[in-house]
Amino acid sequence: MHKQFPQFPRTEVAGVSLPRMLIGSNWMLGFSHTSASADAQIRERFSKKEDFLPMFEEYMKHGIDAVMAPFSPSNILTDAVKYAEDKLGKKITIISTPVINVDDNTNARAEAEATIKANAELGATFCLIQHSSAEQLVNRNTKTIDRISDYTKMIRDAGMIPGITAHMPEIIMYSDQNEYDIETYTQIYNPLGFLMQVEIEFISKIINNAKKPVMTVKAMAAGRITPYVGFNFVWNTIRERDMITVGATSVHEVAECVEISHAALERRYPDIDGRSSPDTKQDAFGK
């Protein structure tokens, strides 16, 4: 018999059930936020669609069945998700974060629409406009995201749920203030303040006041802080409707992140092994 694992808590976004832990993609696609050599090491580890299967299997046995990534027809993760679904016999919810051309002309709009339609054809449920595109439209003077409704309509017309990824905290604020057709947003959030544009306390306030569920990213500051520190901070300062996107490079890291997260949510100490040391016969190691 297969071992039964506790299933991760879930939330709901626009009527779609999602696990509160989402599968991140940077640590499988080679976006380390560390160095070119680290990027290359990740890409070498995940060079074929088959390489991703153990990762998806580990996530999914805990009920974590949604992945966020910049999907495209040429993206290896696109094939990897389909391969995993076939092998595991389970559906994976795709949260795509495409880069689109937001220039204000006919050709650019046609290109943006083609990109969005391609994401729908890949089977994406959610289409979150990539921050590098969306932030070009932000007008801090008028407190608006100009022409964002053009693109959310394209997303709706393609049969997907619209959202936006945000580095700028104003993205969430202006989306809510202007009642744009945005069902969810991402926001960088970690206790180190890594890549966050304003103080941690202010980002926390934005997340907790957001009208829609927030998908937080970079809880571990791209590996700069430990999972224990990152998860205990983020899980205990977001709402029950919000999520954390978690990237990993091995099944062991996935299992550890899941256990630490369960423990943080249950307010207990996690069942994890200590770190290795040349001499573990030290009082501080508890051995």
Indicate if the pLDDT at residue 236 is higher than 80: yes
* pLDDT of the residue at 282: 65
CATH code assigned at 215:
3.20.20.100
Which of 208, 213, 126, 135 has the alpha carbon at shortest distance from 174? Answer: 135
Q: Does 283 map to a domain?
A: no
Record the tokens describing residue 214, joined without a space: 């927030």
Q: Is residue 285 part of a domain?
A: no
Query: Residue 1 falls within a domain, yes or no?
Result: no
Query: Who contacts 286 (Cβ-Cβ below 8 Å, separation ≥6)?
Result: 274
* Cα gap 131→245, rounded to integer Å: 16
Would 287 be classed as within a structural domain? Answer: no
Mean pLDDT, the chain, rounded, equals 92
Residue 74 lies in a domain: yes
Query: Which residue would you say has higher pLDDT here, 282 or 171?
Result: 171
Q: In this structure, are strands 161-164 and 214-217 parallel, antiparallel, or unpaired?
A: unpaired
pLDDT tens per residue, range 187-213: 999 999 998 999 999 999 999 999 999
Residue 43 lies in a domain: yes
pLDDT at position 260 = 97
Instruction: Tell whether 5 is covered by a domain.
Output: no
Residue 127 pLDDT exceeds 60: yes
Question: At 72, is the pLDDT very low, low, confident or very high (cuts 50, 70, 90)?
Answer: confident
- Lowest-pLDDT range, 4-13, 146-155, 276-285? 276-285
| Owning domain of residue 186 | 10-274
pLDDT, tens digit, 9 for 90 and up, residues 253-277 = 999 999 999 999 999 999 888 776 6
Q: Is residue 262 part of a domain?
A: yes
Sole residue written with tokens 């890409």 = 43
For 38-48, write each residue's pLDDT tens digit: 888 878 888 89
How many structural domains is the chain composed of?
1
b/e sequence 16-41, b meaning 16+ C-beta within 10 Å: eebbbbbbbbbbbbbbbeeeeebbee
Q: Whole-angstrom Cα distance, residue 200 to residue 219? A: 12
